[in-house]
Structure 1
């Protein structure tokens, strides 16, 4: 069984109505409208990859009509505080269960603590906390939320980062980039399962939805 591949996404930050993001190693500032256009462009490029590439997890490429997404929403781009995982090197290593019953070893890097401003403009915001894994390709957050399993993949969605995306203990989480692992489309792939503590009690209406064949 093939192992899932982590896909590094575009990391974005919203500041006063504009978005700064790193593109080909350079920091760039664009309008929200331009960011959404760029995101939609990347989604089309991903569809083309899934439709045409030999590395695609899609089995029936001839009838593939594209992936399903929530509408881009700037409220789901948040800056998290990264709290290091304080423990011995041995305790940081964790056997992560895979969808095929096997395990893979990751390192507990730390926790991303954040709020979701769209929840309530009047009440005090809830602070959420997600475990960050470190692996050979960088960092990842594997999570579920209250949209699963009816609207989003029940096995969880992923966000990927580079280690140097963390600056001054801050990390931008753009849930518009949350994506499904390959096993959401093809059972011959084995994918890591999100830890129980990474189940958010709220709906995250951003990123990729359940893959459904479109007629």
Structure 2
């Protein structure tokens, strides 16, 4: 009898430990949950081991639908390839795919959107576009080096920019990475209170 109770207790403790280890992934949107899951997983996380072990979730600005905007895309098919600087000696061969014109909270803005020469030859990234930007939260609530948004080549001349999906370069978490430096031309003279916030390294 005592042995049965012991086995039941041990089983219960084991289940409790599993339940504690398999805590639900934090995040109020699918994007936030996916990013947190990626950063928690040792095989995909850019975090240093010591930061990943105590990782509970990234800090995000609260989701705000006013930061989901429709932009007019003016393509620049004759733009030349150039070397975009990175945080290391490496350079990334990019070109301005087009210029996005949009309104954010009643004010007009524009951002260059880029296409990578090497990346466009990789399977699954043929239609990938790169939207890096700086704004007035950088160095305060958000990472000082600016943030990135992933996009795809649209069929028409409009593109939805969701600033709630803005994320930090890997360099914000670990200086072993080589990250493209946001071109100064992509500075937004406004506060973008959406997306991933800054990160305090352990």
Give the TM bin, normalised by the shorter chain: 0.7 to 0.9
Shift of 1:93: 0.5
Distance in structure 2 (CA, Å) of the matches to 1:155 and 1:197: 14
**Partner Cα distance (2:31, 2:77) in 1:** 37
Q: Say whether 1:131 aligns with 2:121.
A: no
Q: Any idea what the Cα deviations from partners look like across 1:65-121, whole Å, max 9, x if unmatched?
A: 21111000000000000011253xxx52011000113311012101010001x3xxx
User: 2:63 corresponds to which residue?
Assistant: 72
- After TM superposition, the structure 1 = structure 2 runs for residues 107-186 of structure 1, keeping only pairs within 5 Å, are 107-116=95-104, 118=105, 125-135=106-116, 136=119, 137=125, 138-163=128-153, 166-186=154-174
Distance in 2 (alpha carbons) for counterparts of 1:187 and 1:97: 15
Q: Find the aligned partners of 2:150 and 2:46 in 1 and give their Cα distance.
A: 19
Give the number of the structure whose residues are more often strand, by fraction: 1
RMSD (CA atoms): 2.0
Structure 2 unaligned runs (5+)? 1-26, 120-124
After the TM superposition, which parts of structure 1 deviate over 3 Å for at least 4 consecutive aligned residues?
none
| 1:68 and 1:212 in contact (8 A); partners too | no
Structure 1: any 5+ residue segments left out of the alignment?
Answer: 1-37, 119-124
Task: Deviation per CA, 1:124-158: give whole Å up to 9, x if none.
Answer: x3211100101223101110101011111111111
2: CA distance, partners of 1:70 / 1:55: 23
Question: Matches of 2:97 and 2:77 in 1, distance apart?
Answer: 9
CA distance in 1 between partners of 2:185 and 2:110 (Å): 8
* Structure 1 position 39, deviation (Å): 5.5
Residue by residue over 1:156-204, the C-alpha shift from the partner in whole angstroms, topping out at 9 and shown as x without a partner, is 11111121xx232000000000011111100000100111110101001
Instruction: Provide the TM-score with structure 2 as the length reference.
Output: 0.76
Q: Equivalent of 2:186, from 188, 193, 198?
A: 198
Distance 1:108 1:39, change over 3 A: farther
SS at match of 2:56: coil
User: How many residue pairs end up in the alignment?
Assistant: 166
